[in-house]
Amino acid sequence: MLNLNPQTLKKLRRFRQIKRGYYSFLILAGLMVLLAFGELLINSRALVVSYEGELYFPTYTAFHPGTDFGLDYDYEVNYRDLKEKFAADGSGNWLLMPLVPYNAFENHAPGGIFTPLAPNAAQQHYLGTDTTSRDILARLFYGTRIALIFSIGFMLSVYLIGIAIGCSMGYFGGVFDLLFQRLIEIWSNVPFLYMVIIIFSVIPAAFSVPTRIAILLAVMVLFSWTGMTYYMRTETYKEKARDYVAAARVIGASDSRIIFKHILPNVLSTLVTFMPFTIVGAVSAITALDFLGFGLPPPTPSLGELLKQGTANLRTAPWIVISAFGTLVALLTLVTFVGEAVRESFDPKTYSIYR
């Protein structure tokens, strides 16, 4: 069993009492689970294919050429067509499609013309299609997943660097502190957005999409870790002067042991309260960059790209902007609610009023 100290348990109990934050957390957690198994819900590949007595599960495997299922082409099977074919020839073969039978990249134009299609349950485009007839629900879903993974990766990296440097600054103090403070002051004055835009515009497209996303993440982290150091530095300064640190030192604990085993757990509450807001910041940043066209490389599904399409087609295809904007608002609201609840529950004063 996880052995939590009573202080933490108390905080968690308090978190559960803040209903708004707690339910938001449950919804978010549920969403994360859904997102993790997204391929089973929204995908152009069938969940199960039964062909001539054999069962196939194509979702997570390598692609099946059409010839595997008696079709005359050797590129990826179009499972929606295959389903109709199976139904038509009544040979006992069958397949099961996910709830939304489209992936985030394919152009599916029922009318033969690439144009935004309004939400249409008959075609299973529940939120309609975008300007190149890609399913909006699929793009939103995978766009959100990428944004969330990106933000969590961003948060972890920023915290790792920020904590390490901030704590060291506070703990060692003196010249080390002075030097890094100046360095951070200079570094944090480099305009973040412009740097991201400039650097990202020179990354050659020859790199694969995941590499380019990783580079974007690295660049963003590089210009964002400074904010965290201020808090960690002051907190560490405060804790360093406490008796337990002196005691640990007298016993002969090493510097790194003191920082990570003694000081860090005591400044954790500051950290935890910042986390959700960092995620909100990262989601907004990546969406904004995408909106400007400097974010995730196309054709990666993204909220910002959908927003951009939506604003360009406000009059003719309002459903694009409505779904993208709605998702963004919902997502950011949920995370913010969780953040507020965390902050409140970690507050040592029981009754505090936020201004």
Partner 1 sequence: MKQRPSSKWLLMLAALFLAGCGGESGGGGESDAASATIDNTAEVEADYAAEPDFYRFKTLDDLPADLVWENGADLPEIGSPEAKKGGTRYIALPDFPRTLRTAGPDSNGAFRPYILDNVVTLIAHLHPDEREFYPALAESWALDPETSTVYVKLDPAATWSDGVPVTTDDFFFMFWFYKSEYIRAPWYNNWYGTQYTNITRYDDRTFSITSASAKPDYASRVLELHPRPRHHFKELGEDYLERYQWRFTPTTGAYVLRDGDLKKGRSIVLTRNKDWWAKDKKHFRYRYNPDRVQFNIIRDTPKRFEAFKRGDIDQFGLALSEYWYEKLPDSDPDVQAGYIAKSVFYNEYPRPPYGLWMNTSQPLLDDLNVRLGVQHASNWQLVIDQYFRGDAARLKTANEGFAEFNDPSIEPREFDISKAQAYFAAAGFTERGPDGILVNAEGQKLAFTLSTGYENLADVMTILKQEAQKAGLELRIEILDSTTGWKKVQEKQHEIHLVAFGRFLEMYPRYWEHYHSDNAYDDAFLDDGSINPDRELKTQTNNLEAFADFEMDGLIDRYRASQDKDEMVELSHQILNLHHEHASFSPGWYQPSLRLGHWRWIRYPDYFNHRYISTIDDLWVHWIDTDLKKEVLEARKSGKTFPPKIQVYDQWKP
Q: Which residues bind partner 1 (CB under 8 A)?
A: 62-63, 65, 73-76, 105-107, 109, 112-115, 131-132, 134, 201, 204-206, 208-209, 293, 297-299, 311-316
Longest dimension (CA), the chain: 83
135 within 8 A of 100, measured Cβ to Cβ:
yes
Q: How near is the Cβ of 206 to partner 1 at its closest, in Å?
A: 5
| Residue closer to partner 1 (CB basis): 21 or 310 | 310
Q: How near is the Cβ of 102 to partner 1 at its closest, in Å?
A: 13
- DSSP assignment of 137-176 equals HHHHHHHHHHHHHHHHHHHHHHHHHHHHHHHHHHHH-HHH
Q: How near is the Cβ of 216 to partner 1 at its closest, in Å?
A: 14
| Residue closer to partner 1 (CB basis): 63 or 244 | 63
| Tokens encoding 254 | 């090493």
| Residue closer to partner 1 (CB basis): 67 or 91 | 67
| Residue closer to partner 1 (CB basis): 105 or 192 | 105
287 within 8 A of 220, measured Cβ to Cβ:
no
| Alpha-carbon gap, residue 286 to 66, rounded angstroms | 38
Q: How near is the Cβ of 35 to partner 1 at its closest, in Å?
A: 22
- Residues 6 or more apart from 127 whose CB is under 8 A from it? 119, 135, 136, 137, 140, 319, 323
| Residue closer to partner 1 (CB basis): 139 or 343 | 139
Q: How near is the Cβ of 316 to partner 1 at its closest, in Å?
A: 5
205 within 8 A of 297, measured Cβ to Cβ:
yes
**Which long-range contacts does 94-99 make (Cβ < 8 Å, 24+ apart)?**
94/49, 94/50, 95/46, 95/47, 95/48, 95/49, 95/50, 95/51, 96/46, 96/47, 96/48, 97/46, 97/47, 98/39, 98/40, 98/41, 98/42, 98/43, 98/45, 98/46, 98/47, 99/41, 99/42
Q: How near is the Cβ of 134 to partner 1 at its closest, in Å?
A: 8
| Alpha-carbon gap, residue 102 to 301, rounded angstroms | 13
| Residue closer to partner 1 (CB basis): 134 or 262 | 134
| Residue closer to partner 1 (CB basis): 22 or 105 | 105
| Residue closer to partner 1 (CB basis): 135 or 239 | 135
Torsions phi, psi of 117, nearest 5?
-110, 135
Q: How near is the Cβ of 301 to partner 1 at its closest, in Å?
A: 12
| Residue closer to partner 1 (CB basis): 108 or 233 | 108
Q: How near is the Cβ of 239 to partner 1 at its closest, in Å?
A: 45
Q: How near is the Cβ of 207 to partner 1 at its closest, in Å?
A: 9
Helix (H) or strand (E) holding 95: strand 94-96
| Alpha-carbon gap, residue 275 to 132, rounded angstroms | 37
